Amino acid sequence: MPPYVPHLGHERCSLSCGLLTGVQFNALFADPVSADVATLETRTSATYGDLATVGPATSAIPMVNGQTAMVFISAGAASSGNTVGAVISWSNAQQAATDANGAEIDSSGGLGSSQITQMSVFTAASTTSFTFTMKYKCINPGTANFKNRRILVKTC
């Protein structure tokens, strides 16, 4: 079957009628952007921050106002101490790292270790490029260990 060809001069067949621009098309159908860091590193702070090796972080991802992206984060995490937890999250120029976007392992009373993963949805509040970076924190006094860290962002 041949592709649909609109009638010439038809008012409904214009760019102002919802057809995608080149930038919008590329953002919608672009491959996911991901980054990895394998290094084992620790954090003792109860506030979100970077490890010795920052990230992983994506390259700049162009987004338009109102566009959404699925953000997947994952890390091998272990914690030690009485009630220590290891938490991963992400941030960018529009949004700080939050527990709502994070994933946690709790090692109440002993050593806990697991691969933790979280998916959250980000909505751009402006038309610009965003870099997504993983952030880390430790719950309660103790040490949280992180390795095999990955972030993957897919625009929608």
Q: Does 25 or 83 have the greater pLDDT score?
A: 25
Question: Does the domain spanning 39-155 belong to CATH 3.30.70.60?
Answer: no
13-38: per-residue pLDDT in tens?
A: 444 456 767 666 766 677 899 999 99
- Cα torsion angle, 55, 26, 123, 117, sign: negative
Stretch 55-59: mean pLDDT: 91
97-132: per-residue pLDDT in tens?
A: 887 777 776 654 445 577 888 888 989 998 989 999
Q: Where along the chain do its domains lie? A: 39-155
Burial per residue of 68-90, b for 16 or more beta-carbon CB atoms within 10 angstroms, e otherwise: ebebbbbbbbbbbbeebbbbbbb
Helical (H) or strand (E) element with 120: strand 112-123
Model confidence at 2, pLDDT cuts 50, 70, 90, reads very low
Query: What percentage of the chain carries pLDDT values higher than 70?
Result: 74
Query: What percentage of the chain carries pLDDT values higher than 90?
Result: 22
CA distance 90 to 118: 10
pTM higher than 0.85: no
